[in-house]
Chains A and B, each alone.
Chain A
Amino acid sequence: MLYRSSIAAIALTAALCMAMPDAQAFDDGQYPDLKGQWRRIAPPGQPAFDPSKPRGRGQQVPLTPEYQAVFEANLADLAAGGEGLWPGYRCRPPGMPPMMTAYEPLEIIVLPETTYILIDHIHDSHRRIYTDGRDWPEEAEPAFAGYSIGKWVDQDGDGRYDVLEVETRHIKGPRAYDAMGAPLHKDNKTVVNERIYLDQTDPNILHDEITVIDNALTRPWTVTKSYRRDPNPRPVWAEYICAENNTHVHIRNESYFLSGDDYLMPAKKDQPPPDLRYFNPSRK
């Protein structure tokens, strides 16, 4: 039979044990320090999906013949002044995986059940990477950011996590890899695998090894993106609002421009004006 003091002590222990999950909610010493603001490391100018290769055909995207033809038609449209297949011209989200190009800086918030990636690019906004051991949802509404499940890995066995492995599915389209318009498959069955980790020699460099599995590709395509941490411990977060000052106007499958003095103007040589059939002719 237990003494009363034993019972009291055990009860207190039990009470503390019950409180533990709350109090212990977040031992961030277990996770790598990903705090701060991360900017892409890439050549200057409009970024390509694979930052190690030239833009356009130079990316050597392993497209199927069908999608290579789609890509070529897109390049011809771009050359003629069109928008090609890049949804960004219309301020539509790039989605996964191009959103990890980090058109604007990233912030990574690591919590036990979810790692958030905030992107200072308003229509990308944020990713949620669930690390709570959940399975894929039976029904998920496709989203440009997709649905991401992650797992923290202690690769070097030092008792701390160092790699975040992520798989992303349920991605919405249309999407292209970058502004040169190399397309992802319209079936939107893309699966994106990532390994996100700090550089072993420089903790202010972050790498994201991205492998894209997509039916527009002849094989999985792997690209490594890297980011540099802003040394400012209190970084400034700007606002990028695509819809503000967007001079692209899209009317019935044709793109036009807004001139500097706010008139509609052609985007291509000899482009006809839009059909104004729904306006009262007497008002023209």
Chain B
Amino acid sequence: MPGTPDAFLTRTRFVRVLSALALLLVAAMLGSALVGAEPIHLGRALFGGAADNLDRVILLRIRLPRVLLAVLVGGAGGMASLLLVPAGAFAGALLAMGLVYRLGSVHGRLQPYMFLLAGVVTNAFAGALIMTLNAVADFFQAQGILFWLLGSLQTQSYGLVAASAVYLVIGVLWLMRHTRAFNVLTLGEEGAAQLGIDVAQTRRSAFVVSSLLVGASVSVSGMIGFVGLIVPHVTRLLIGPDYRLLLPAAVLTGATFLLLADTVARSAFGATEIPVGVVTALCGGPFFIYLLRREGGRGVE
């Protein structure tokens, strides 16, 4: 643990941590908007004449929507995975969600292990369906499927950005109301119930909202892996396990992480873009192994 932790969450600490993370995100957004295959000049883009202002076109039409989308998708991914929910694409999300929920419930109660296994199995099944589609698709469609599977934030419109923003904001506000209950739920179902939590209703809320968030972000950006793996763990290590701070903090760190990854993805190889999912997976793979080794070494409590 870095430094001495506060004994409990105060308003001061809440504001201070979130401000610092927000500042970091804004700095990353500014930096990312200026970086790319074509170097642009911020002053000229903002204050130069409207006519033939290529810098402005690149900034407002290409870079900015992409930056915003990376922020939204990363934010949603960082937060939703905090609540341990397996992903599925939006159209399929509702279906998969219902399926996993039913399979993961015994006697009408959501059982964590059954839930996890149901998620893994549904994921494998959906994966087989995707491969079938891929096999029967023509060359160009297959290329699109490949990019979607690897995850990409290419060529997005402001309309899509606005729609994603609505999802994220409503989702965050909805979940924030339950963060105290999420804290208490870490004590287990019985412990939480005895502290006055309606366990079934809280679980349902977390499940539905985070599934919708993941579904929405997967449908606009494809499967960007590992954001949900790295972000919650690192954020928890840095600021502690209180969900009231952890949840909004994970939105900000998730956004920053995906933005940086996407900036690398579209600028590291000049004009050739690599899928952002490749960058996140290259960071996430080794990190996952590190986590597994560490947990294995510590033993399961």
Indicate whether A and B interact: no
B-to-A contact residues, CB < 8 Å? none
